[in-house]
Structure 1
C-alpha cells in the first residue's frame, strides 16, 4: 500500500480541527440514500416490540427540564 492510496490530513488555517481527504474509491459527499430511508422497520426495532403495561405512560412522560 503506497502513501497515495491513503487518506491525508489537511490542516485548516484558523481552526483547531484538521480535515481528512476522502478515502480512495469514495466521494466527499454522503450518499443521499444514507440520510433517510422509507424502508419498513426491521423485526428487531423497538417500535415492533410487544408493549408492556407502562409503555404508553413512558412515551408521554416529559423530563422536568423541558
Structure 2
C-alpha cells in the first residue's frame, strides 16, 4: 500500500502525531501539507492492491497459454 499526499501526490511523508480523533497524522515532505488516512480507506487500498496482484498473475497465466 502506498500513501500519497492528496495535495501534490508525493509519497515522501513522515508521521506527524495523531488527530484529535485518534487517526495517524502525516506531513508531506514535499509541500508540507498535513493529512491522515481513514482506516476504512486504508483497507480499501490494501484490497485493491491484493486484487491487482491477482489480476496480474492471471494475465501471466493467460499469456503462457497463448
TM interval, short-chain normalised: under 0.3
- Higher share of residues assigned helix: 2
Bigger radius of gyration: 1
- Higher share of residues assigned strand: 2
| TM-score, length-scaled by structure 1 | 0.22
Greater relative contact order (CA < 8 Å, ≥ 6 in sequence): 2
| TM-score, length-scaled by structure 2 | 0.22
